Structure formats: C-alpha cells, structure tokens
A and B are shown apart, each in its own frame.
Chain A
Amino acid sequence: MSTSDLCWLSIHEALDAMRRREVSALELTQAVLERIAATDDAVHAYLTVLAESALEQATAADARRADGADGALLGIPVAIKDVICTRGIPTTCGSRILKDFIPPYDATAVQRLRQAGAIVLGKTNTDEFAMGSSTEYSAFVTTANPWDLSRVPGGSSGGSAAAVAAGTAFGALGSDTGGSIRQPAALCGIVGLKPTYGRVSRYGLVAHGSSLDQIGPLTRCVEDAAILLGVIAGHDPLDATSLDAPVPDYVHHLRHSEGLAGLRIGVPREYFIAGMEAGVEAAVRTALQVMADAGAQIIEVSLPLTEYAIPIYYLISTAEASSNLARYDGVRYGLRVDGDEMWRTYFETRAHGFGPEVKRRIMLGTYALSAGYYDAYYLKAQQARTLLRRDFERAWQQVDLVACPTSPSVAFKAGQKVDDPLQMYLSDVFTVALNLAGMCGISVPCGFSEGLPVGLQLMAPPLEEPRLLRAAYAYEQTTEWHKQRPVIVDRR
C-alpha cells in the first residue's frame, strides 16, 4: 500500500491493519504528516501541527501493541478542534485574545482519546470561539474546502472537517452549538455526529452557549463515528450537565441491526423551503427514496416552529455567549491590553482581543439580557424554545427519525457572506433546532451538486444514538458517496 493510500484508510480499516501487523502507527502517522506538509499550505485545516510529538506518540503506541496491548483507538492519528483544551498545547479558539493560551489540563474528551491510544496530530482551525458557519471568522487563517479551494469548508468546525476530508487526519473532534459539526461535515463530504446534549462531557470545551454545546466526531464513515463516540461518551463528574446513562456498544449496534427495515422516517414539510438549492433537494429526495427501497417507511411530518428556530437560537446562544465571554478580562489568562485604569483595561483588552463576529454576538446577547429587553427577547426565546421542543415531541409519537438536508446550499464562495451576518446565520436553518431540543443528529454524504458534496441530516430523540447510527450506517452501505475523495487543486 502506498503512503498516500494509508492516509485514506478509515479508522476501523487502520485498526484492523495494525492488529494484523500489516502497518504500524508510526507508518500511519508519517504518512499523514507527509500529506499535511504537502497539502495544508493550500487547505489550512490546522492551526498547530504536533509533528514531533505525534511521532513519539506513534512509537509509544507501537511499543504498547508489541507488548500485547490494544485500545479502541490505539495508534490512530486524530485532530482536535482548537476550542477543546489540550494540556501543554496552545488552544487559541481562533481568537487573538487566546493566541498564547496553553491549557494546564486536557478536556475530558481529549483525555479519553489519549486513554484509548489515539495520537493527537494537532489543533484545527475554527471560527473565533466557534461563532460562525464558514471558518472565515478565525483570527488567524481562512480554511479552504478541499473540494474547491475557493469555497469555505463550512463552520465552525471547518478545520476538523477539512482535515478529515483532505486525508490529513483519520478522524477529528469538533463542537456543535447550532450545527458546527454537521454543516461543515456536509459541505466537506464527510460524516459529522452531534451527540445528545450531556452525552459527552463539556469539561475543557471552551464555553460558547452552555445549554447547547456538545463535542462530537467528524469522520469519513459512520462506523468510525460510532468508534469515536464510544470512546468520548459517558458521565463525567467534572461536567454537572453530563448524563449518567450507560454508554452502549455503538459499533455492535451497527453490525447487528435490522438496518433500515421497519424504521419510520419523518420528512418535515417545513424543511423543504424556497431558497434551498435544487441540487441539494434532488440529492436528499434521492436519498429518501434509497431509504424507502431499503425498507424504511417515509412519512411526512410537520414541525411548525421551524421558521422560528433561527431567531430563537440566535437570541439564546448569544445571550449565553455574552455571559460566558465575560471571563476574558485580561486578569487570569489571555491577552491583556493595559488601560490607564483597571476598568479601561477591560475595554481595551476586549476591543483588541475579539474579532467582529464575537463582538457582534456579545452585543446582541448583552442587549437580549439587558434591563427592559430581557422579557421581550431572552425570556420570549426560551418560551419559544419550549414550543419548538413540543414540535419534536409530537413528531416522535409518529416517527423514529427525522430526515432533511443538513444545509440549504453546497459550500459557498469565500467572502460571499462574511459581511452579511443575517445571511450567514440563515445558513444554519436546518441544524439549530436539534441543539435547542437537546437531540442527537448526524450528517452523512448523500450526493453531489455541481461537483460539491451534499449532506443528509438524520435526527433522533435524546440518547437514541444507536438508532441514529443504525440508519446512517445502513444508508451509507447502499451508497458510494462516502468513498469519493477530493483532488486538491487550486482553482482560485
């Protein structure tokens, strides 16, 4: 097998090959580092590449395997979104305010990856504090879509999605507050899973919207997502909102299930709206037919609150963000820009440290929480959130899963929406409801439109990841979309 072929192995194929002693962790790591060196100047998926450390981790993994050890991810090189803390490794959140921040601890999800034997390759680019849908709001670099370098990879986990799609990581962690795993996965032609709120510990995930944030995997196939989820899921006393529910054997569920047979899949009529690209709708309609042919029952459902999901989301998430980001005051960590008095230091530090989208969201959230507007905006949005949850609770009485497009469009051109915040927010129209209702969801590749990937989103009730993965896997096994690879050519 050639070096470049090694980079395209799935996680489960790479594990099988290592268990058969056909390849070593060191060879996998060297192959992927070579590919990073060859392509990442064009893609810019990474903010930090840990070449030396990755080779050391790989050598240690091979030694452990030679000693008879194994692990769910022993010797697998993975990437981590740069909003997730890594001990001793810069964690910038794509922000000038944390440019030199080096966490003194690992996030629980990272610690669990390490315990399972994964090799941390580096930290991936993100919209500043995970606020954005294109990765263009990173303070450091704009990540390109591996399928067309003139287009965005989606966001905010755009660096993680681009790395997995470009063959420069075997899998990656992202975070999803309103679609930030699923939307970039769709736009880059890979799998992205947003677990149920509370399924994965948020300890060490830099807070954005605390009632919405979840860490989850980005991978090249559904089985790999199941493997990663099994490693990072589970109760953590360090996160009071983490669920104390048993973690099922997700991979076992994939391999021993009835597939799509007998599943009732709801298609919300409100999700097939004007403004959706024709190529996206066609690919998703075809996917629904494929699932019906495989034995699923396709049922039209109604989610009337859909048109209100974006305003609910942007009021609640910015209110939570404005409160969370109050901690960046130049006192304990991060940038400090001195003013002539202490209170001026706060204003100067935050003026210089935050970029335009973060400032905009702090302003919007502060407004929604301020005296005189709290009831009209924040409380109203929380009440509407209850109505939106009831929409889904009604749907779950009729169907087992809901299916829809992940994004109304394929990857858009860099620069197209960056100065029009409302247009950027509307690109999250199909993903935010899931976070508001605390459910789980996945985006899987379901075709191409004008040469660019389209994602199918499946949603399931809280903690029904086994059902979600079962359907996604069964669909994936009947198609070839997840096997398509981009040829990285600069068309700018």
Chain B
Amino acid sequence: MPRLSLQEVQHIAHLARLGLSDTEKETFRDQLSAILDYAARLNELDTHDVEPTTSALPLNNVMRDDEVVVGLSSADALSNAPDAEAGQFRVRVILE
C-alpha cells in the first residue's frame, strides 16, 4: 500500500482530537505506513462469509433487576475534576 499522505495523518489526528507537532506527523506518517503495510498481509486470507468475532465470549446482553443501588457519591465523582463548581464539572463556554 502507498505511504500515507500528510493530509491523511492530519485527518486521523483531527478525528482523534490529538494535537501533533510537525515532527510527530512526519514520524507517524512513516511508522503508520510501515505498520499498515505489514497489516495488509491479512488480505491473503479468504474471509468471505466469515462472521466477525467481537467478543471471545458467547455473551448476549446482560440484564439485572431494575433496583436502586448506592453508586459513587457526587463528591467522589468530582474528586479528580480539573475544575468543578456547585457539584458540577466546569469547562469553558461552548455556546455563546
């Protein structure tokens, strides 16, 4: 497969909300191209009509009774917040 373009690297970083320096973009461009090239060997496998495995377990939905149980307290949930106010997480304005 061809080497990833810089635009593709930037697009992926944007999807992942990941800030990258110019050097990182170039490094990842090379490294990801090499890894994807290696992964392309999966195309040698015939997977026509093969069901994908999403879990190693034969699990279906797991249900429980609809009963109130004690969970994490508000104070505990906020204990690691970078910024909190009035029992809530505080962030910058996102809507003017």
Interface residues of A (CB under 8 A from B): 100-102, 104-105, 197-198, 211-212, 237, 240-241, 243, 305, 307-308, 310-312, 314-315, 322, 326, 329-336, 338, 341-343, 345-348, 350-352, 354, 356, 359-360, 362-364, 366-367, 370, 377, 379-387, 389, 421-422, 425, 435-438, 462
B68 beta carbon closer than 8 Å to chain A: no
Separation of A152 and B61 alpha carbons in the complex (Å)? 42
Interface of A is mostly: helix
Separation of A350 and B34 alpha carbons in the complex (Å)? 24
A367 near B34 with CB under 8 A, answer no
Separation of A422 and B17 alpha carbons in the complex (Å)? 24
B18 near A211 with CB under 8 A, answer no
Q: Give me 14 other A-B pairs in contact (C-beta within 8 A), A105-B72, A367-B32 excluded.
A: A198-B56, A211-B55, A240-B59, A241-B62, A322-B16, A334-B82, A342-B93, A363-B9, A363-B16, A363-B28, A383-B50, A383-B51, A385-B53, A422-B38
For residue B17, which residues in chain A have a CB less than 8 angstroms away from its CB?
A: 326, 329, 343, 346-347, 350
Q: From residue B87, how far is it (CB to closest CB) to chain A in Å?
A: 13
B24, B57, B82, most chain A CB atoms within 10 A? B82
Of B13, B35, B53, which is within 8 A of A382 by CB?
Answer: B53
For residue A240, which residues in chain B have a CB less than 8 angstroms away from its CB?
A: 59, 62
Q: From residue B64, how far is it (CB to closest CB) to chain A in Å?
A: 6
Separation of A101 and B76 alpha carbons in the complex (Å)? 12
A422 near B34 with CB under 8 A, answer yes
B24, B51, B52, B93, most chain A CB atoms within 10 A? B52
B41 near A308 with CB under 8 A, answer yes
For residue B81, which residues in chain A have a CB less than 8 angstroms away from its CB?
A: 331-333
B79 beta carbon closer than 8 Å to chain A: yes
Q: From residue A386, how far is it (CB to closest CB) to chain B in Å?
A: 5
A311 near B39 with CB under 8 A, answer yes
> A435: nearest residue on chain B (CB-CB)?
B56
Of A387, A422, A437, which is within 8 A of B47 by CB?
Answer: A387
Separation of A421 and B39 alpha carbons in the complex (Å)? 13
Q: From residue B44, how far is it (CB to closest CB) to chain A in Å?
A: 8
B5 beta carbon closer than 8 Å to chain A: no
A197, A243, A311, most chain B CB atoms within 10 A? A311
For residue B12, which residues in chain A have a CB less than 8 angstroms away from its CB?
A: 363, 366-367, 370
For residue A335, which residues in chain B have a CB less than 8 angstroms away from its CB?
A: 82
A366 near B15 with CB under 8 A, answer yes
A197 near B56 with CB under 8 A, answer yes
For residue B77, which residues in chain A have a CB less than 8 angstroms away from its CB?
A: 104, 332
With A240-B62, A332-B89, A382-B54 as contacts: A362 and B16 at CB distance below 8 Å: yes
Separation of A437 and B55 alpha carbons in the complex (Å)? 9
With A359-B20, A359-B24, A363-B18 as contacts: A241 and B57 at CB distance below 8 Å: yes
Q: From residue B27, how far is it (CB to closest CB) to chain A in Å?
A: 8
B42 beta carbon closer than 8 Å to chain A: yes
Q: From residue A384, how far is it (CB to closest CB) to chain B in Å?
A: 5
For residue A102, which residues in chain B have a CB less than 8 angstroms away from its CB?
A: 79-80
Q: From residue A448, how far is it (CB to closest CB) to chain B in Å?
A: 32
For residue B38, which residues in chain A have a CB less than 8 angstroms away from its CB?
A: 310-311, 422
Interface of B is mostly: loop
CB proximity to A under 8 Å, residues B78-95: 79-83, 89, 91-94
Q: From residue A91, how far is it (CB to closest CB) to chain B in Å?
A: 10
> B15: nearest residue on chain A (CB-CB)?
A366
For residue B62, which residues in chain A have a CB less than 8 angstroms away from its CB?
A: 240-241
Of A198, A212, A308, A329, which is within 8 A of B45 by CB?
Answer: A308
22 A-B pairs with C-beta separation under 8 A: A102-B80, A104-B79, A105-B76, A198-B57, A243-B57, A308-B45, A326-B16, A332-B89, A333-B80, A333-B82, A335-B82, A342-B93, A360-B32, A362-B18, A370-B12, A370-B15, A380-B42, A380-B43, A381-B42, A383-B47, A385-B52, A386-B53
A332 near B80 with CB under 8 A, answer yes
Separation of A305 and B34 alpha carbons in the complex (Å)? 21
Q: From residue B61, how far is it (CB to closest CB) to chain A in Å?
A: 8
B36 beta carbon closer than 8 Å to chain A: yes
Separation of A198 and B47 alpha carbons in the complex (Å)? 27
> B92: nearest residue on chain A (CB-CB)?
A342
B19 beta carbon closer than 8 Å to chain A: yes
Q: From residue A90, how far is it (CB to closest CB) to chain B in Å?
A: 11
Separation of A364 and B34 alpha carbons in the complex (Å)? 11
Of A198, A310, A359, A383, which is within 8 A of B28 by CB?
Answer: A359
For residue A425, which residues in chain B have a CB less than 8 angstroms away from its CB?
A: 35
B57 near A438 with CB under 8 A, answer yes
Q: From residue B20, how far is it (CB to closest CB) to chain A in Å?
A: 7
For residue B91, which residues in chain A have a CB less than 8 angstroms away from its CB?
A: 331, 342, 345
For residue B89, which residues in chain A have a CB less than 8 angstroms away from its CB?
A: 331-332
Q: From residue B70, how far is it (CB to closest CB) to chain A in Å?
A: 12
Cβ-closest 4 pairs across A and B: A438-B56, A351-B19, A382-B52, A333-B80
Separation of A201 and B83 alpha carbons in the complex (Å)? 31
For residue A362, which residues in chain B have a CB less than 8 angstroms away from its CB?
A: 16, 18
> B43: nearest residue on chain A (CB-CB)?
A380
A364 near B82 with CB under 8 A, answer no
